[in-house]
Structure 1
């Protein structure tokens, strides 16, 4: 069975967005995410700022951590894309396995292409390679 994966999310806002507004949006997003088959969605503690964000940006507030099986991630990303598209001038920055993606002002088609590329298997993981060493095939025939 696959292990849970943690995905870091930061709700981002326009220049006038304050911490209170971002936290309210994050709570709304959390409620929607909990409707999916995720294991947990909680507020991110520690105030970590995502790569590329300026220290003065209002992205520190509104941080969430989603814990789910990898098979649920496409569903999580679909929800994020829908959620962002219904909130103009808002976005969500997502970090997974040291990589990040910003879901913001792209068109729905562009956003879906970005999500598909982000979730596609990475070239550094060989197709058919076992995830669990205990399940690896024997070395000889």
Structure 2
């Protein structure tokens, strides 16, 4: 079995979404992700120090999740995120794994599929010395929306 990876997700709401609604949206996404064959989904930590007078510990970043999963589950996670975004006041979901990022947005189905395929191909062709295990190819296709194409960064 392939080693587990941690995928960091950051949900960005539309302009009129407040922190409370973003927190609820993130909780909804967490519940949906737990329905997949992932190891764990935790609320993301911001890495910031708690404000003066707050209890010690890490600050929970609103809209952030950390998903522990086997690399073979990455494509289904990305498909779920893209489908989940539809009909919700979410602008993008930034996905970061091993320092590589992809922003899922409301792109056409074709644009989204090409982008995700390119992102996953990077992991399939990577050797362990380059930062991680190859990702097996899972079922193809990603549900898409409409609007601007998302960006891939490395």
TM range (shorter): 0.7 to 0.9
Residue matched to 2:122: 121
CA contact (8 A) 2:26 2:64 kept: yes
**Which ranges in structure 1 are unaligned for 5 or more consecutive residues?**
49-59, 133-141
Residue matched to 1:32: 32
Q: Following superposition of structure 1 onto structure 2, how do residues 1-141 of structure 1 map, counting pairs within 5 Å?
A: 1-46=1-46, 60-87=61-88, 89-121=90-122, 125=126
- Distance in 1, Cα, partners of 2:100 & 2:78: 14
**Which ranges in structure 2 are unaligned for 5 or more consecutive residues?**
49-60, 134-154
How far does residue 30 in structure 1 lie from its aligned partner after superposition?
0.5
TM norm structure 1? 0.73
Q: CA RMSD in A?
A: 2.4
TM norm structure 2? 0.68
Give the 3-state SS of the residue equivalent to 1:20 in structure 2. Answer: helix
**Cα 1:62/1:122, change in 2 over 3 Å:** closer
- Distance in 2, Cα, partners of 1:31 & 1:124: 31
- Distance in 2, Cα, partners of 1:82 & 1:3: 26
How many pairs does the alignment contain?
Answer: 118
How far does residue 90 in structure 1 lie from its aligned partner after superposition?
2.8
CA contact (8 A) 1:85 1:108 kept: no
How far does residue 37 in structure 1 lie from its aligned partner after superposition?
0.2
Larger CA Rg, structure 1 vs 2: 1
Give the 3-state SS of the residue equivalent to 1:74 in structure 2. Answer: helix
Structure 1 outlier segments of 4+, above 6 Å: none
Over residues 54-103 of structure 1, what are the superposed CA-to-partner deviations in whole Å (9 max), with x where a residue is unaligned?
Answer: xxxxxx52100000000111111110111122325532111111011111
